[in-house]
Structure 1
C-alpha cells in the first residue's frame, strides 16, 4: 500500500477512495460496525466522541455543526447576543418529540437544569452550563439566557447539549436557578435512558433497542421536522477489535465500519469496498501526574519525577513522533505540536512538534537527578483510538531507551476511563477531540487547573496547574473580539506546551470503509452519523 505523507492532509476532510459504479441498495436497514461502544444512552452522561455521535441521532441540540464544525441552526432557528452577557434564541416552531409532544422553551430550560444533576459522569457537560446566570422564556419559542460574564462561545457550547423532554420526566413549569431549579419532577438517572420510552428526543431516529455489548437499534422518526432519514432502521454493532470489524464488513454482516486498520486497506479495496479518510481534530497525548508527591506506577524514586519540568521535557524529547506516524500509523496521522491542528481557531502556525532528541533527553534526566532513570507504568485503552495500544508500546520503548524503563498496562476503554478518573495512573495515553473546533475547548478540558465550581480542567487527570495559563483562558472565554480572543488562546497554548503540561503525540486521520453503494463525507470530529450515509449516485 502506498503511504500518504502527513503533510498531504489538508484540514478539510479529504476522500481517498476507489472509484465505484453506482449500485442500487435497499434503504430499509443500515448496519454499522463501530470501533467504540457508547458508554450510555444518556446524552449528558459522558462527554466523549462515541456518545456524542450517538446522541445526535436521538437528542438534537439547539445548534449543530457540519463536517468541518461550522455552526448550523438545528432546534434554534437563530441566535444573537443582545449585549455582552445576554443571548436571545429563537426556537424552531412546529417541532415535536418522537412521542408527539411539542418542543418548547420549557424543554430547553429543563435540559439546562438537568445537566448538573448527572451522577458519576466520567467527563461532565457542566463546563457548558456553569456560566448561566438566568434563563427566561418570554414566549414558548423564545429563550433569553443571561451569563455571569461574556461568553462568546455560547453558541458553540449549545452544539454539545442534547435536548430532553420535560414532560417525559414529570416536570412542571420549570424555573431556572443557578443554584437549583424548581418544578423539575423526578430527574432521570442515566440508566433510565436504556428504556426506549424514556429516550425521547426530537432527532431523526428513535431508540428501538439497546443491548450493551451487542447492539443499538434505531428506527426512523417518521414525524421528524427536518430532512427525513433515508434509512428506516440503523443497527450499530460495537466491534472493538479491528480484525473482526474488517471481517464483518467483508462478510456482509455490516455495511460500514469505523477505523479499518491501515494494513488492511489494500484487502478492503481489493474486495470492492470504498475507503475515505479525513484529518481530525483529535489529539493523541500522554498525560503525566503532576499533583501527587508519590505517584502510582513509578518505581526507583521516592518522589514524583513528573513535577519536574525537566523530566517532562526529557520524556517529550524521547518520543520519535515521525516514527510513530510512519511505522505505527502507516503515515495516516500528523505529528502534533499543540492540542489542535493549524489553522483551527487559537492555533499557531509556528507550533512545531518537539524534536526527537534521545541524547538531550538523557541529559535532562541526569540534570533532574535521574542519571539512571526510573521505572514507569503507562496506562492506555486498547480499543478506543486508532492503534492505541501499539502507540503506547512504541512510546514505552522510546522511554526505555533513554533510561525510563516503561511497562504498558492496556485495557478496554470502559475500564481505562474508570481507572483514569480514580487517578490510578501516573502516566497514561488518551485522546481528545474539540467539539467546538477551537483552542479554548482543548485548553479548558486538558490543561486548565481542575476546578469543580467552574468546570475547568474536567479531563485534566494529570492535574497540571499554571495560574498564568488559567488566567489567559478565562480572559479568552469572556473576550468577544475574535482577534483578541485568538491571541489570548495562542499565548496560553504556547505557555502550556513550553511547560510540557502534557505530551502531544499526533492528530488522528480517520478512515471509514463501506459498501460501494454508499458514500460518506469524513468529519473532522470523527463522528459516524447514519444521517450522513448516503446512496452512491
Structure 2
C-alpha cells in the first residue's frame, strides 16, 4: 500500500482496541487450564523455525524455547552460564568453554562438544539466509574438540567479546540436524534441542505449539503446554485477551495501556528496551530506488542521499520529541545514537538532534536541492510499536522541508527480503542490540560491506568510513572494558556525524496478561513462555 502524504497526523483517540476495553468482558480459563497451559497472542510470526536461518529477533526468541546457547543472557542482557558452565582465555587467541555435563536433547541423546562444533560451523552458513549469524561467528578461525565436554575456539586476533557473542545463537543436535534444510526444519524435522520446551507443531499464519520437556537441565518452566497464536492486528490481539482466548499478549497498543492498567483482571508489564528504531539510508547508488527529481527523473551521477548535508537535513526535519509524545504516547525514548542511556557505548554528550526545519531547508539548498526531490519511503506494517503511524508523521515532516514524499507499507513477510535485496532507499527498521553493547550492530549495519570477510551483511545502504572501521576493529581487539567502550563511543560519534543511519527512538515494550500471571520484562523484548509464572 502506497500513500502520498499531505498533512500532519495528530494525536488520535483510543481507536478500536482501546474503545473495546469498556465493552469487552474477560473470560477466565478453567482452573486446570490456568495451571497447565499458557496461550500467548503474538504480533509477529517467525519467518522460520530453523534457529540458524535468520538473525531476526522473532526467530531468535522462538528458538530459545527449544534450544539453548552456550551462554545465556539475563533479562538485562548480562551473560550467564548456559550449556557452558565456565569459560576462560587460554591465551590471547584461544577461548575454552567447559560444557555442562548430563544435558539431554529432546530425543534423549547427550550433549557433547561435537554438537557445539557442528552448530558453530552451521550457524553462519545456512543457504539463503536474509540476515546471517556470521556477524557473531566470523572471528572464529579454528574449532578444537578437546574432550566430550570441552571445546576451544581460536581467533586470528584477540577477541574479548567471545562469551557475549556465544549467547547470540543456539546449539543443535548434530545427530538430528546434520543435513537438514531450512524447509525441513520448518516442517518439524531437526527440532531437537536442549531447551525447556519440545516442539509439537506449527500451523503457519495461525499458531505454534510446544510442551514442557521433562528432562530439561535448568529450572522447569511452570506451564506444561504453550500455544503462540499469531495475531498481527493490535485490536484483534487485545480483543483476544479480553475475550479470554489468550492469556497474554505482546506489543500492547499504546493507546490502550492506561485503560488496561485500570482493569482489575489484567496487568501490564513494561520496560525500556535496547531496540533502536531508525531510518536506513542509501549511501552508494546515485540511481537509488524510489528517489527522483520532482519530474520523476532519476538522478545521474550523485544523488541526494549520497550527500551528508541532505542526510543531516532529513534528521533535522524530524521532531522526535513530538513523535514520542503524540504518536508513541510516552512509549519511546527519543535518540540520536545507537545505545540508550545507561548502556555500554552510550555517548553522554551526544544529544537528541534538535528539530530544525528551517536549518534543514538551508542544508538542502546548500547541497543543490532547494526545490527538494521525490522519494518513496517504506515501513513494515505491525512489526514495531506504532510503526506506520510514526512513519506517517515523519513523512509529513519531510514534506515541510520541500520533499515530495510517498509512503509504502510492506507486509512483514516480505519486508526483510526486499530490504536485503536493496529494493529500498529510505526505510524504517529496528534492531535489538542483544549483546548489550554496540559493536554487533556496528559490524552488521555500518561496517564497510565485505562479502568475503563477512562484515556489513546488514549494511544495506553501503555506508563506508575507513576511520569508523578502524575504531570498530580496534575496539573488538581491546581487552580492557573501559578502553573498548571509549573506542566504541568514538566510532559512534563518527557514524552519527555522517548520518550513517538516522536514529529515531528506543522502544518501550508493553505486555498485558491475566492478573494472576507474572512476567519478566526483558531488555531485548523477547516474549518467552519460561519467563511467565503464576502469582502468589
Q: Is this a same-fold pair by TM over 0.5?
A: yes
Deviations 1:29-62 (A, max 9, x none): 1000111111110111111111111011101000
Structure 1 position 397 matched with structure 2 position 389: no
C-alpha displacement at 1:78, in angstroms? Answer: 0.4
User: For 1:417-457, what per-residue CA distance to the aligned partner results, in whole angstroms no more than 9, with x for missing partners?
Assistant: 11111111111000001110101122112211122223322
Q: Which residue of 1 aligns with 2:124?
A: 116
Aligned equivalents of 1:137, 1:442: Cα separation in 2: 30
Alignment partner, residue 211 of structure 1 = 203
Which residue of structure 2 lines up, in the alignment, with residue 333 of structure 1?
Answer: 332
SS of residue in 2 equivalent to 1:347 = coil
Q: 2:144 aligns with which of 136, 148, 168?
A: 136
Question: Which residue of the other structure, out of 292, 298, 301, is the alignment partner of 2:291?
Answer: 298
Listed as ranges, the matches of 1:288-327 within 5 Å are 288-300=281-293, 302-303=299-300, 304-327=303-326
Q: How does 1:31-430 map to 2 (within 5 A)?
A: 31-169=39-177, 187-271=179-263, 272-300=265-293, 302-303=299-300, 304-430=303-429
Greater alpha carbon shift after TM alignment, 123-132 vs 84-93: 123-132
CA contact (8 A) 1:250 1:268 kept: no
2:317–2:401 Cα contact (<8 Å) kept: yes
Provide the rounded CA distance (Å) in 2 between the counterparts of 1:28 and 1:282.
Answer: 32
Shift of 1:188: 2.0
CA shift for structure 1 position 298: 1.0
Distance 1:70 1:117 in 2: 27
Supply the distance in 2 between the matched residues of 1:458 and 1:327 (Cα, whole angstroms): 35
Deviations 1:117-146, CA, capped at 9 Å, x for gaps: 301111100112211121112210011111
Alpha-carbon deviations, 1:190-231, whole Å to 9, x = none?
111124342000000011001111111011111111111211
In structure 1, the gaps of 5 or more residues are 4-22, 170-185
SS at match of 1:160: coil
Question: Any conservation in 1 of the 2:313–2:361 contact (CA below 8 Å)?
Answer: yes
Alpha-carbon offset, residue 268 of structure 1? 2.4
Larger mean CA deviation between 269-278 and 159-168 belongs to 269-278
Q: 1:454 & 1:516 partners in 2: Cα distance? A: 50
Query: Is 1:470 equivalent to 2:469 in the alignment?
Result: yes
Task: For 2:88 and 2:383, locate their aligned partners in 1 and report how far apart those are by CA, in whole Å.
Answer: 38
TM-score by length of 1: 0.91
- TM-score, L = length of structure 2: 0.91
| Change over 3 Å in CA distance of 1:116–1:439 after alignment to 2 | closer
**Secondary structure of the corresponding residue to residue 133 of structure 1:** strand
Taking the aligned partners of 1:441 and 1:135, their CA distance within structure 2 comes to 22
Q: Is the 8 A contact 1:98 1:206 kept in 2?
A: yes
* Equivalent residues in 2 for 1:458-537, closer than 5 Å: 458-537=457-536
67-76 vs 438-447, greater mean Cα deviation: 438-447
Looking at structure 2, the residues matched to 197 and 313 of structure 1 have their Cα atoms a distance apart, in angstroms, of: 49
Contact 1:343/1:349 (<8 A) preserved: no
Looking at structure 1, the residues matched to 431 and 454 of structure 2 have their Cα atoms a distance apart, in angstroms, of: 17
Secondary structure of the residue aligned to 2:255 is helix
Seen in structure 2, the aligned counterparts of structure 1 residues 94 and 467 have a Cα distance that, compared at 3 Å, is same
Residue aligning to 1:181:
none
The whole-number CA distance in structure 1 between the counterparts of 2:53 and 2:189 is 18
In angstroms, what is the RMSD of aligned CA positions?
Answer: 1.4
Cα distance in 2 for residues equivalent to 1:329 and 1:50 = 22
Q: Report the 3-state secondary structure (helix = DSSP H, G, I; strand = E; otherwise coil) of the residue aligned with 2:428.
A: strand
Q: Which residue of 2 aligns with 1:453?
A: 452
